């Protein structure tokens, strides 16, 4: 498993009873996690000093219970700064396990010793965008949510990237890729974090099981003559790393060579020493 072990401002303190106890900077949050199917003694003192608790409803969804948490705060990862706030369905605006992927492609960008163009699709609040831009790449950031793109811009500004070569686009990712192919634009690195299910700005329906293979093939047409990397993230239950490896091998390796690796990604748990699974990633590099 690939684990994000380089955080200082974020930590999974403990896990038990379907929940994970987390430190986000100076604040302690308790959120549900479907992977935590064990019940172990809750001995860590932070269980008793929560700043916020997201309660999952048996009917679906849930709600936050706040004790002492600001409307917004920030944490840092290396030289990046991210704004956080609790919002719908337990999220805070950042998936800290993705830092293990940021470290991987950051090294590839920095070692390329040439201009690098990166496309970030389903780009959310811009963690990967900021990491790639900080490494020296020019980045095209695409997400169907105007609110998420605005949030990503704020993260970029907080990270000292206001003047970085980042193109911000609110668009349906599939339609954007199709237009880029027609325009003849190419990218040295492609990142995608597709949802299990979603809708574009004009009601376009995305179901990952039906769309992902064709979309990877489509994005393969955007790679440059000397591409650096291709990254697919997935939080879809049941979509194993081996599936991501096969899809990328079929569409990218067959054209460009290189190698594929796929694995679960996760976060270290301080109290137990285990690595909490948090999804999967497939990586290709030349």
In tens, the pLDDT along 194-236 reads 988 877 666 777 788 778 999 999 999 999 999 999 999 999 8
This prediction's pTM: 0.94
Residues 18/31, Cβ–Cβ less than 8 Å: no
User: Which sign, positive or negative, has the C-alpha torsion 97, 98, 104, 107?
Assistant: negative
Q: Convert the pLDDT of each residue in 124-164 to its tens digit.
A: 999 999 999 999 999 999 999 999 999 999 999 999 999 99
Rounded Cα gap, residues 95 and 283, in angstroms: 18
Ordered structural domains, the chain, with CATH: 2-84 (2.60.40.1180), 98-285 (3.40.50.150)
Which residue is it, tokens 């010793």? 113
Rounded Cα gap, residues 241 and 65, in angstroms: 35
The first and second tokens of residue 33, run together, are 């996690």
Nearest to 160 by CA among 142, 133, 139: 133
User: Which sign, positive or negative, has the C-alpha torsion 95, 8, 62, 35?
Assistant: positive
Angle between helix 127-134 and 146-158 (nearest 10): 40
């Amino acid at each position: 498993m690939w684990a994000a072990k380089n955080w200082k401002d974020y930590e999974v303190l403990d896990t038990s009873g379907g929940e994970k106890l987390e430190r986000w900077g100076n604040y302690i949050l308790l959120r549900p996690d479907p992977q935590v199917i064990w019940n172990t003694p809750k001995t860590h003192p932070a269980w008793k000093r929560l700043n916020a608790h997201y309660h999952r409803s048996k009917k679906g969804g849930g709600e936050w219970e706040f004790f002492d948490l600001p409307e917004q705060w920030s944490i840092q990862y290396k030289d990046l700064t991210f704004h956080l706030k609790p919002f719908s369905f337990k999220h805070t605006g950042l998936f800290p396990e993705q830092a293990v992927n940021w470290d991987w492609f950051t090294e590839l960008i920095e070692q390329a010793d040439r201009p690098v163009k990166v496309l970030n699709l389903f780009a959310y609040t811009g963690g990967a965008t900021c990491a790639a831009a900080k490494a020296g790449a020019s980045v095209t950031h695409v997400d169907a949510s105007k609110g998420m793109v605005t949030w990503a811009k704020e993260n970029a500004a907080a990270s000292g990237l206001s003047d970085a070569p980042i193109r911000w686009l609110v668009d349906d990712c599939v339609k954007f890729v199709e237009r880029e192919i027609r325009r003849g634009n190419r990218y040295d690195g492609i990142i995608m974090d597709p949802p299990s299910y979603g809708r574009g700005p004009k009601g376009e329906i995305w179901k990952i099981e039906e769309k992902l293979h064709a979309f990877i093939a489509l994005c393969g047409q955007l790679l440059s003559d000397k591409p650096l990397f291709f990254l697919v993230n997935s939080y879809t239950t049941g979509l194993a790393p081996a599936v991501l490896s096969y899809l990328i091998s079929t569409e990218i390796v067959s054209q460009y060579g290189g190698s594929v690796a796929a694995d679960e990604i996760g976060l270290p748990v301080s109290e137990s020493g285990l690595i909490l699974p948090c999804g999967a990633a497939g990586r290709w590099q030349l």
